[in-house]
Amino acid sequence: MSEKLMHENIQKAQKEIESKKEIVKAGQMRQHYHFMPQTGWINDPNGLIYYKGKYHYFYQLNPYYGHWDYMHWGHAVSSDLMHWEYLPVALAPSEEYDDHMRGGCFSGSAIEHDGKLFLMYTGTSNHGEGYVQTQCIAYSGDGINFTKYEGNPVICPPEGVPSDLFRDPKVWKHNGTYYMVCGASRNKRGQALLYRSSDMLHWEFFNVLAESRGEWGYMWECPDFYQLEDKYVLTFSPMGESDRKAVYLVGDFDYDTGKFSWQISGEIDWGMDYYAPQSFLTPDGRRIIVGWANEWQWMSFWKDWGPTYREGWCGFFNLPREVRLMPDHTLQFLPVEELNILRENKQSIREFTVRDQNIELKAGDGISFEMKMKADLEQTDADRLEIDLRCGGEKKTTCIFDFKHGIMKIDRNHSDGWSKGISYSTLFLKGKKELDIHIFSDQSSLEIFADNYQNNHANNVFAGDNQNQILIRAYGGDVLIRDYESYGMKECFR
């Protein structure tokens, strides 16, 4: 009976998508190569997995309009991580544990079990006594049509955890046992709770993997946990921590006790639009993460949902990034090498000097492009280097590399008449010979990587097509730029 309801709700969602997808396709702000929904609202990446020869993206989706509501799981597959084929909606609200207009099928993950694709997600409902979040299972033989497990929910909120702050299960398998890390809140502090199971269906609480001591918010959303070389990494998005949106911890883990002891902490991305990243493994063993290019209302940078809802959509994913461990156990986040297949119209300059006059740089059409360069710090005496992106008329987004004060900033206050704020991070260049800068620009976003892919800023910018100029200049001296390269980026979605 309820399987029928889920099927009906998926049909309804599909009908809506079919009737509006061409309008969304024609949207002016639509991305060229960042993954976005066919119609409606998208937030977290869910269930990322390489399964039976294809990459799968599932995602938090409201297919009906460009605002958050009534969560479904959208679904798309790809062979190269760049070109995506949309599949029918995978999960729709239909059961008493997940059917609510301000709830639904919340975030979760995917794993192969028994030759089938299993999804574990958070069912969110409210029957008049507040929101209740429980962990639920759905599975599929063909990787397209899913059935919700009749024994759902498989995990209920434990003692001491508010029933509306228990969500986002991420599952993995180790030595024949299934493990799951879930976001929670206890005594107003964020936690990552660890569960285990021998059959994917019956789960027991194992330990508190890690928790905030007050420094990282009251709730941890979308935790993820994985091994990287001989270390373990925990990532999460804290609620109530304004500027911190995607924290990583690196340390050691003991499968006997379920305890994680971390020594290093950092931020995956300091920009205003990077949240809830989830990881997966490629067949060649790379650990890739994908984040949602946006932020929530409780964050310091939040303005409103953005201008694109008028075009019938809102939100997209950041570019997939490869996670690498550095010798000091901090992490790097590199845009995946698959992006190279989108390159066209290469331009390069071996070296040039930047002074206090603007120099115009060329990269693709100035809207959808990739750009790389190195500032030779031994040949640089300037206080600061600035690059204006998406300039036109009075509008521009400025990247500031302030050598004097050791800070990197992206200024959105003049970007598009809508965006606001400055994202910033520490630029620690002592003893370094060069500063590497790598920029990806798309119709509605800028992703800027610097200093060994450890200083990353994802910022959405809703600039018109007349904003296509790129300018570079220095203050207080000269900067020598080496190995300048730029490319246009081919369309993936239009």
- Mapped onto helix, strand or coil, the DSSP state of residue 35 is coil
DSSP, residue by residue, 166-203: EEEEEEEEETTEEEEEEEEEETTEEEEEEEEESSSSS-
Rounded CA-CA distance 356/472 in Å is: 9
122 lies in the site for ligand FRU, by CB under 6 A: yes
- 221 contributes a contact to ligand FRU by CB under 6 A: yes
Q: Which amino acid is at 417?
A: G
Distance in Å, CB of 295 to ligand FRU, minimum? 9
The tokens for 381 are: 């005496």
Q: At its nearest, how many Å lie between ligand FRU and the CB of residue 75? A: 16
Residue 452 CB, nearest distance to ligand FRU (Å)?
Answer: 28
Q: How far is the CB of 319 from ligand FRU (least distance, A)?
A: 18
Q: Which is nearer to ligand FRU, 83 or 170 (CB)?
A: 170
Residue 225 DSSP SS3: strand
Does 182 interact with ligand FRU (rule: CB under 6 A)? Answer: no
> What are the CA-CA distances from residue 229 to residues 250, 325, 329, 466 (Å)?
11, 8, 10, 46
* Interaction between residue 276 and ligand FRU (CB under 6 A): yes
CB of 29 to ligand FRU, least distance (A): 21
Sequence-distant (6+) residues with CB within 8 A of 153 are: 97, 123, 134, 135, 136
- Which of 9, 43, 443, 459 forms a contact with ligand FRU (CB under 6 A)? 43
Task: Determine, following the binding rule CB under 6 A, whether residue 125 of this chain makes contact with ligand FRU.
Answer: no
Q: Closer CB to ligand FRU, residue 44 or residue 241? A: 44
User: Does 456 participate in binding ligand FRU (rule CB under 6 A)?
Assistant: no
Q: Does 222 bind ligand FRU (CB under 6 A)?
A: yes
Looking at the Cβ atoms of 209 and 480, the one nearer to ligand FRU is: 209
| Cα–Cα dist 452/214, whole Å | 30
Give the residues across from 312 on adjacent strands.
Answer: none
Minimum CB separation of residue 222 from ligand FRU in Å reads 5
Q: Determine the 3-state secondary structure of 260 from DSSP.
A: strand
Place of tokens 């918010």: 217
Which positions from 415 to 444 touch ligand FRU by CB under 6 A, shown as an x/- string? ------------------------------
Q: Note whether 267 binds ligand FRU by CB under 6 A.
A: no
Report d(CA 36, CA 360) in Å as an integer.
31
| Distance in Å, CB of 231 to ligand FRU, minimum | 26
Sheet holding 343-354, edge to edge: 343-354, 479-489, 369-376, 434-442, 445-450, 455-460
Interface mask toward ligand FRU for 84-113; x: CB under 6 A: ----------------------xx------
Binding test (CB under 6 A) with ligand FRU, winner from 31, 60, 197, 235: 60
Given 167, 189, 390, 412, the residue binding ligand FRU (CB under 6 A): 167
> Is 44 one of the annotated active-site residues of the chain?
yes
The residue among 122 and 469 lying less far from ligand FRU, judged by its C-beta, is 122
Which one of 44, 98, 442, 451 is the catalytic residue? Answer: 44
Which C-beta is closer to ligand FRU: that of 24 or that of 276? Answer: 276
**Pairing between β-strand 275-281 and β-strand 287-292 as defined by DSSP bridges:** antiparallel
CB neighbours of 188 closer than 8 A, spacing ≥ 6?
218
Is residue 192 involved in binding ligand FRU (CB under 6 A)? no
Q: How far is CA 254 from the centre of its chain?
A: 28
CA distance 411 to 461: 11
Q: Under rule CB under 6 A, how many of the chain's residues touch ligand FRU?
A: 13
- Nearest CB to ligand FRU, comparing residues 66 and 364: 66
Q: Count Cβ neighbours within 10 Å for each residue of 165-179 and write b for 16 or more, e otherwise.
A: bbbbbbbbeeeeebb
Q: Which is nearer to ligand FRU, 306 or 488 (CB)?
A: 306
Catalytic center residues: 44
- Summarize as ranges the residues that interact with ligand FRU (CB under 6 A): 43-44, 60, 71, 106-107, 122, 167-168, 221-222, 275-276
